[in-house]
C-alpha cells in the first residue's frame, strides 16, 4: 500500500536541501514563513503523485462520483492537517524542533482559508476530510472568493470589519487549471424555434459571458493515499478573438467591465442564518452551479460510453442548503437545450441526481429571489423554474385535492418570489435535515405538506465533525492518553472511544485526563494573556461560548448570568464560588445591529468585572476577537463548560457542541439540535439540560401565552439586570443598551431569554457543585469523550453514502 514514509532525519534534510535550492538560504537565515513554504512544498511533493493515482483509480474502476456543492468551505489552515493525514506530522514536529523552530509557530504562518461563515461551511470541510479518509470518490465544488469572511477587530467594544485578503501571500495548496475553464452566461435574450418534428429549440443571444477558472485543492485522506479534489471557481473576463472583430461596441473590454466580472467571486457574503437578497449573490450562486454542472457533465462524457440518460448511475450531487439549488434548473437547461432531451426524460435524470440538505427552519434564512431579478439575470433558467412550478402545481391540483388550498404555500413561484427550498424539495430525490429533532420539525411542521407529497424523500443525517482535526490534531496529549489506555484503533473507528467507559472510574487515568486539561488551559491562558493582557486563573472553570453571534444562540442569556453573578458578588463579596473564566468568541454580521450591541455589552461587562477588586478575581470575562477555525482549535481543548443554549427548535444541529464534547467539556444546553442526541447517549447525569423544549417554544409561537414583562415585574434579579442596561449602569452614556432592553420588553423577548433565565441560573448552580467534586466531574468528562465517537463525520458520511448516494468505498 503506502510507500515507506520519510524518517525524521530525512525530513530534516529535505528542509535543509530545499532551503538551499529554492531560497538559497542556510537554516539560520530562514524565517518562519520560509519554513512554512518549505514544509508545504514537501507535503505537496508527497501529495501530487497520489492525487494523480487516485484520479486514475477512479477512472479504472469507473465508480460513481459524489459532488458536494457548497457556497462555503471553511477549511481553516491545511498544513498541519495535511501533515497529519499524510502520516508526516510527527516527523515534521521533531525535525522542526531539531532545527530550532517551534512547530506551532510554523503552522500558524498559514492564513486560514475563511471561505465560509460558520457551521455550514465547516461541515462541508469536515465532510471532505471524511470522504477521502473513508475511501469515497467524493469532491467539493465551491467558489474561490478573493476576500473571505471579514477579519474582526474590536475597538472600544465595537466590532470593526477588516477585509480578509487571505490570498495576499501565495497559497501553497491551490493549482490553477486553466484548461478546465468554462464559460458562464448571464442576461441576454432567449429565442424559441419550432423544429421540423414539432419540438422546441432554445437559443440565447446577447448574453454576458464570464469565464470560470478552477483552482484545485487536494483533500488528503487519513493515511490511506486517497486524495480527492476541492475545486474552487474564480471569475475572469472572456477575451475571444471574435470579440475583436466587428465594431466591438457590445464588448466593452474596459477595466470597469473586467472589474465587474471579477467582482462575482470577489467576496463571501458575511451573513449567517439570514438571507441577503442581492443580485450579486444570485450571480455567485449561478456561477458556482453552472461551472460545476458543466464540469460534471464534461467528466461524465470523458469517462463514460453511456448516454446522459444514465447520469444518475455515475453521478450524485449533494447541495449544501438551497444556495446551490439552481443546480436543478441548470441541469435541466443543459439536458433540454444542449442535449435535446424531452422535458420528461430531463426531469427524470435531474430528480435522480440531485439531493438536498436543509440547514434551517428560521424563516429569515429561507431563501427567496424576486421573480423579476431572476428573469433579468437568468432568463432561460427562469423559464425552466416557471415550467417546473406549473407542472408541480398542476400535479397537486389534479392528484392531491386535499392540498388545493395549500397551493400558495407550496408553489415554487408565489407572490412574485421564487422559493428556493420548495424548488429544492421538488427537484431532488432526497431531502435531509441535520439532526433528529430538526428533521422531525421539517416533517411535522415546516414542510409537512411536502412530507405528505413525498414521504420517501425525507431523511435525517445528524451532522458530525472530523475527529482527526478536532481531536487528534488539536489535542495530541488527550489523543495519546486515550491511545495509551484503549489502543490506537479508535483513530480508524471513532466509535471505539466507547472503550474509555471502562476507565471512567479509574482514578489514575482520571488524574491524567485532569492533567491534560490543565495543560491545555494553561496554554489558552497564555494566549489570552498575549492577546488581551488579562491574566486568567487556570484553576478557574473555563466556561466557553464560541459561535456566530445571533439572537437565537442567546449569548445574551450567558451575559445576563454573568451580570447576575457579579451583582451577587458585589452584595456578598465573600460568597464562596469557584472562580470562573467566561470565554466568548463571535463574529456578528456587519448589518446585524442587535448582535453588535451584544458584543458591545460583553465588552462593557468585561471592562467592569475584570477590574473590580471587590470580587477578588472570582470572575473574568474574555472576548477573543476574530473567531475562526484556528482560534476554535486553541480554545476547544481547554473548555470545561460548553455553552449550547440556543432557543429550543432554532439550532438545526450545531457542531461546536460536538467538538467540545469530544475534548471532554461538559455541555450546558437546551434540548435543541444535536444536544438532544448527546443527551440520549450520556444521560442527564453527564450534562446540564435546562429550559423550554422545542414543543413548548413552538406552542408559544403559535398560541401565545408568554409575557416577558411579567417576568421582569416578578423576578428581582431580572428587573435589576434590565434596569442596569436601561439606566446606563453598563455603558458610558445612557442610551447604550436601550435596544436590547426594548427588544426584550417591547418585542416580548422573541428568543425567551427571560423565560429560560431562572432555569439557567439553577443549572449553573449545579455546575458549580459538580465541579467541586473533582472525580465525579472527570468521570462526566471521560463519559462524554467516550460517547463522542458517534459524532465523527465519518459516521455521518457513511450514512449519506449508504442511504442517499448509494456508493461504496473504492
Ligand atoms: C464549528 C465551528 C462553527 C459552528 O459552531 P456552532 O457552535 O455549531 O454554531 C462556527 N465557526 C467555526 C470557526 C467553527 O469551527
Averaged over 257-278, what is the pLDDT?
A: 93
In the set 265, 322, 655, 763, the catalytic residue is: 655
Beta strand residue intervals within 400-499, DSSP E: 413-414, 417-419, 430-433, 458-460
Averaged over 746-756, what is the pLDDT?
A: 98
Strand pairing category for 417-419 and 368-370: antiparallel
Q: Which backbone phi and psi does 190 adopt, to 5 degrees?
A: -105, 125
How far apart CA 367 and CA 400 sit, in angstroms, is 26
Summary mean pLDDT of the chain: 95
Please report the atom of ligand 1 found closest to the CA of residue 76.
13
Ligand 1 centroid from CA 119, angstroms: 5
The reply to whether 394 belongs to the active site is no
What string of DSSP letters covers 297-349?
A: HHHHHHH--S-GGGHHHHEEEEEESSTTTTHHHHHHHIIIIIS---HHHHHHH
Residues 6+ apart with CB under 8 A from 588: 159, 548, 549, 595, 596, 598, 599
Length of the chain: 810
The reply to whether 523 belongs to the active site is no
How far apart CA 221 and CA 128 sit, in angstroms, is 9
How far apart CA 674 and CA 28 sit, in angstroms, is 50
Whether the pLDDT of residue 5 is over 90: the answer is: no
Ligand 1 pocket, mutate which of 656, 791, 796 (most atoms under 8 A from CB): 656
Averaged over 552-559, what is the pLDDT?
A: 98
Ligand 1 centroid from CA 122, angstroms: 7
Q: Which three cell numbers stand for residue 807?
A: 456508493
Please report the atom of ligand 1 found closest to the CA of residue 465.
1
Please report the atom of ligand 1 found closest to the CA of residue 653.
8
Whether the pLDDT of residue 114 is over 90: the answer is: no
Please report the atom of ligand 1 found closest to the CA of residue 655.
8
Q: Give the model confidence (pLDDT) of 496-519 as tens digits.
A: 999 999 999 999 999 999 999 999
Whether the pLDDT of residue 242 is over 60: the answer is: no
- Which helix (H) or strand (E) is 448 found in, with range? helix 448-453
545, 546, 538, 490: which is closest to 514 by C-alpha? Answer: 538
Ligand 1 centroid from CA 660, angstroms: 11
Please, is 748 exposed, middle or buried when counting C-beta atoms within 10 Å of its C-beta (0-12, 13-18, 19+)? middle
Query: Which of 361-370, 533-542, 794-803 is predicted with the least confidence, judged by mean pLDDT?
Result: 361-370
Ligand 1 centroid from CA 592, angstroms: 18
Q: Give the model confidence (pLDDT) of 378-429 as tens digits.
A: 999 999 999 999 999 999 999 999 999 999 999 999 999 999 999 999 999 9
Give the CB-side neighbour count of residue 689, counting CA atoms within 13 A: 19
Averaged over 26-38, what is the pLDDT?
A: 96
- Which helix (H) or strand (E) is 714 found in, with range? helix 708-714
The reply to whether 547 belongs to the active site is yes
Q: What is the pLDDT of residue 4?
A: 65
The reply to whether 620 belongs to the active site is no
What is the residue with the minimal CA distance to atom 5 of ligand 1?
656
Please report the atom of ligand 1 found closest to the CA of residue 658.
8
Q: Give the model confidence (pLDDT) of 593-648 as tens digits.
A: 999 999 999 999 999 999 999 998 999 999 999 999 999 999 999 999 999 999 99
Ligand 1 pocket, mutate which of 123, 148, 547 (most atoms under 8 A from CB): 547
370, 443, 448, 348: which is closest to 402 by C-alpha? Answer: 448
Adjacent-strand bridge partners of 318: 68, 355
Whether the pLDDT of residue 241 is over 80: the answer is: no
Ligand 1 centroid from CA 633, angstroms: 11
Strand pairing category for 175-176 and 200-205: unpaired
In the set 12, 659, 755, 764, the catalytic residue is: 659
Please report the atom of ligand 1 found closest to the CA of residue 627.
13
Q: Which backbone phi and psi does 48 adopt, to 5 degrees?
A: -55, -50
Ligand 1 pocket, mutate which of 632, 637, 658, 670 (most atoms under 8 A from CB): 632
Return the CATH class of domain 64-76+112-302+314-357+419-447: alpha beta
What is the residue with the minimal CA distance to atom 10 of ligand 1?
118
Q: What is the pLDDT of residue 3?
A: 53
Ligand 1 centroid from CA 646, angstroms: 13
3-state DSSP call for residue 63? coil
Whether the pLDDT of residue 253 is over 80: the answer is: no
- Which helix (H) or strand (E) is 527 found in, with range? helix 507-532
Q: What is the pLDDT of residue 256?
A: 83
Pocket of ligand 1 (CB under 6 A): 118-119, 122, 547-548, 627-629, 632, 654-656, 659
* 340 vs 253, residue with greater confidence: 340
Whether the pLDDT of residue 1 is over 50: the answer is: no
What is the residue with the minimal CA distance to atom 7 of ligand 1?
656
What is the residue with the minimal CA distance to atom 1 of ligand 1?
656
Spacing of C-alpha 319 from chain mean position: 14
Domain boundaries, the chain: 64-76+112-302+314-357+419-447, 467-692+750-797
Q: What is the pLDDT of residue 732?
A: 61
Q: How far, in Å, are 268, 295, 314, 649 from residue 308 at the CA level?
A: 34, 14, 10, 42
Q: Give the model confidence (pLDDT) of 275-287 as tens digits.
A: 999 999 999 999 9
DSSP summary character for residue 446: I
Q: Which three cell numbers stand for residue 793?
A: 463525520
Q: How far, in Å, are 119, 210, 320, 798 from residue 72 at the CA level?
A: 10, 21, 9, 22
Neighbours of 739 (CB within 10 A): 15
In the set 122, 547, 587, 618, the catalytic residue is: 547
Question: What CATH fold (topology level) applies to the domain 467-692+750-797?
Answer: Rossmann fold (3.40.50)
Under a CB-based contact definition with an 8 Å cutoff, are residues 682 and 664 in contact? no
Q: What is the pLDDT of residue 304?
A: 86
Ligand 1 centroid from CA 281, angstroms: 23
- Which helix (H) or strand (E) is 611 found in, with range? none
Adjacent-strand bridge partners of 290: none
In the set 419, 438, 548, 634, the catalytic residue is: 548
Ligand 1 pocket, mutate which of 81, 114, 116, 118 (most atoms under 8 A from CB): 118
Q: Which three cell numbers stand for residue 178?
A: 486553466
Look at the block and give the residue holding cell 449545579: 766
Adjacent-strand bridge partners of 541: 580
Ligand 1 centroid from CA 314, angstroms: 33
Q: What is the pLDDT of residue 246?
A: 53
Please report the atom of ligand 1 found closest to the CA of residue 628.
13
**Cα angle 652, 330, 378; round to 5:** 100
785, 769, 768: which is closest to 513 by C-alpha? Answer: 785
Residues 6+ apart with CB under 8 A from 184: 209, 210, 211, 212, 235, 286, 287, 290, 291
How far apart CA 36 and CA 77 sit, in angstroms, is 12
Whether the pLDDT of residue 466 is over 70: the answer is: yes
Ligand 1 centroid from CA 656, angstroms: 5
What is the residue with the minimal CA distance to atom 15 of ligand 1?
629
Whether the pLDDT of residue 364 is over 70: the answer is: yes
Please report the atom of ligand 1 found closest to the CA of residue 659.
1
Scanning 62-153, the segments in alpha helix (DSSP H) are 79-86, 89-98, 103-107, 119-133
Ligand 1 pocket, mutate which of 365, 470, 546 (most atoms under 8 A from CB): 546
Ligand 1 centroid from CA 541, angstroms: 21
Whether 467-692+750-797 and 64-76+112-302+314-357+419-447 are alike in CATH topology: the answer is yes
Amino acid at each position: 500500500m503506502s510507500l515507506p514514509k520519510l524518517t525524521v532525519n530525512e525530513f530534516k534534510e529535505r528542509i535543509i536541501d530545499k532551503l538551499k535550492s529554492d531560497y538559497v538560504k542556510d537554516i539560520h537565515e530562514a524565517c518562519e514563513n520560509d519554513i512554512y513554504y518549505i514544509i508545504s512544498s514537501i507535503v505537496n511533493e508527497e501529495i501530487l503523485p497520489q492525487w494523480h493515482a487516485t484520479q486514475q483509480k477512479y477512472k479504472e474502476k469507473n465508480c460513481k462520483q459524489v459532488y458536494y456543492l457548497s457556497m462555503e468551505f471553511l477549511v481553516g489552515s491545511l498544513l498541519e492537517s495535511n501533515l497529519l493525514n499524510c502520516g508526516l506530522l510527527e516527523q515534521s514536529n521533531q525535525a522542526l524542533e531539531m532545527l530550532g523552530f517551534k512547530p506551532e509557530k510554523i503552522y500558524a504562518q498559514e492564513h486560514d482559508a475563511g471561505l465560509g461563515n460558520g457551521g455550514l461551511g465547516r461541515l462541508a470541510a469536515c465532510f471532505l476530510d471524511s470522504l477521502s479518509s473513508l475511501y469515497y470518490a467524493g469532491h467539493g465544488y465551491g467558489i474561490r472568493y478573493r476576500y473571505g469572511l471579514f477579519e474582526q477587530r474590536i475597538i472600544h467594544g465595537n466590532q470593526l470589519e477588516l477585509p480578509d485578503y487571505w490570498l495576499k501571500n501565495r497559497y501553497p495548496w491551490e493549482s490553477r487549471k486553466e484548461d478546465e475553464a468554462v464559460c458562464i452566461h448571464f442576461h441576454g435574450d432567449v429565442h424559441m424555434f419550432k423544429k421540423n418534428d414539432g419540438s422546441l429549440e432554445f437559443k440565447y443571444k446577447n448574453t454576458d459571458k464570464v469565464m470560470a477558472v478552477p483552482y484545485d485543492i487536494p483533500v488528503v485522506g487519513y493515511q490511506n493515499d486517497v486524495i480527492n479534489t476541492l475545486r474552487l471557481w474564480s471569475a475572469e473576463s472572456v477575451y475571444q478573438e471574435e470579440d475583436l472583430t466587428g465594431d466591438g461596441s457590445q464588448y466593452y473590454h474596459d477595466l470597469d467591465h473586467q472589474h465587474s466580472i471579477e467582482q462575482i467571486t470577489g467576496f463571501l457574503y458575511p451573513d449567517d442564518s439570514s438571507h441577503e437578497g442581492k443580485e450579486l449573490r444570485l450571480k455567485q450562486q449561478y456561477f458556482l452551479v453552472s461551472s460545476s454542472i458543466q464540469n460534471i457533465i464534461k467528466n461524465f462524457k470523458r469517462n463514460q460510453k453511456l448516454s446522459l440518460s444514465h447520469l444518475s448511475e455515475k453521478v450524485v450531487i449533494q447541495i449544501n442548503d438551497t444556495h446551490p439549488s439552481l443546480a436543478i434548473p441548470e441541469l435541466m437547461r443543459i439536458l433540454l437545450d444542449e442535449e435535446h432531451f424531452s422535458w420528461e426524460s430531463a426531469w427524470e435524470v435531474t430528480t435522480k441526481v440531485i439531493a438536498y440538505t436543509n440547514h434551517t427552519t428560521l424563516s429569515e434564512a429561507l431563501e427567496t429571489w424576486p421573480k423579476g431579478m431572476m428573469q433579468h439575470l437568468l432568463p432561460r433558467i427562469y423559464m425552466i423554474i416557471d415550467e417546473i412550478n406549473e407542472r408541480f402545481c398542476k400535479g397537486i391540483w389534479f392528484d392531491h385535492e386535499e392540498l388545493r388550498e395549500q397551493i400558495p404555500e407550496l408553489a415554487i413561484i408565489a407572490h412574485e418570489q421564487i422559493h428556493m427550498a420548495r424548488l429544492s424539495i421538488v427537484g431532488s430525490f432526497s431531502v435531509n435535515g441535520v439532526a433528529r429533532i430538526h428533521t422531525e420539525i421539517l416533517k411535522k411542521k415546516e414542510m409537512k405538506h411536502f412530507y405528505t407529497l413525498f414521504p420517501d424523500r425525507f431523511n435525517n443525517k445528524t451532522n458530525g465533525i472530523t475527529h482527526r482535526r478536532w481531536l487528534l490534531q488539536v489535542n495530541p496529549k488527550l489523543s495519546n492518553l486515550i491511545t495509551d489506555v484503549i489502543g490506537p484503533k479508535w483513530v480508524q473507528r471513532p466509535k471505539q472511544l466507547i472503550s474509555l467507559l471502562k476507565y471512567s472510574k479509574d482514578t489514575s487515568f482520571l488524574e491524567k485526563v485532569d492533567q491534560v486539561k490543565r495543560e491545555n488551559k494553561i496554554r489558552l491562558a497564555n494566549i489570552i494573556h498575549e492577546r488581551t493582557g488579562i491574566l486568567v486563573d487556570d484553576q478557574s472553570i473555563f466556561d466557553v461560548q464560541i459561535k456566530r453571534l445571533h439572537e437565537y444562540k442567546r449569548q445574551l442569556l450567558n451575559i445576563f448570568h454573568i451580570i447576575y453573578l457579579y451583582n451577587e458578588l458585589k452584595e456578598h463579596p465573600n460568597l464562596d464560588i469557584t472562580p470562573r473564566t467566561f470565554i466568548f468568541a463571535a463574529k456578528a454580521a456587519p448589518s446585524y445591529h442587535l448582535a453588535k450591541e451584544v458584543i458591545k455589552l460583553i465588552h462593557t461587562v468585561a471592562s467592569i468585572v475584570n477590574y473590580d477588586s471587590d470580587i477578588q478575581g472570582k470572575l473574568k470575562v474574555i472576548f477573543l476577537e476574530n473567531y475562526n477555525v484556528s482560534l476554535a482549535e486553541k480554545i476547544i481543548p481547554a473548555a470545561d463548560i460548553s455553552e449550547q443554549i440556543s432557543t429550543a427548535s432554532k439550532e438545526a444541529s450545531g457542531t461546536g457542541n460536538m467538538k467540545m464534547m469530544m475534548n471532554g467539556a461538559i455541555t450546558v444546553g437546551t434540548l435543541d439540535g444535536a444536544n438532544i442526541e448527546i443527551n440520549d447517549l450520556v444521560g442527564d447525569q453527564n450534562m446540564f439540560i435546562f429550559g423550554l423544549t422545542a414543543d413548548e417554544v413552538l406552542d408559544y409561537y403559535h398560541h401565545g401565552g408568554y409575557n416577558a414583562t411579567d417576568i421582569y415585574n416578578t423576578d428581582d434579579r431580572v428587573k435589576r439586570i434590565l434596569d442596569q442596561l436601561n439606566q446606563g449602569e453598563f455603558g458610558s452614556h445612557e442610551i447604550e443598551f436601550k435596544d436590547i432592553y426594548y427588544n426584550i420588553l417591547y418585542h416580548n423577548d422573541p428568543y425567551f431569554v427571560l423565560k429560560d433565565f431562572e432555569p439557567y441560573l439553577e443549572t449553573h448552580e449545579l455546575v458549580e457543585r459538580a465541579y467541586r467534586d473533582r472525580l465525579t466531574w472527570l468521570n462526566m468528562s471521560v463519559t462524554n469523550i467516550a460517547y463522542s465517537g458517534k459524532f465523527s463525520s465519518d459516521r455521518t458520511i457513511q450514512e449519506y453514502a449508504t442511504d442517499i448516494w448509494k456508493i461504496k468505498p473504492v
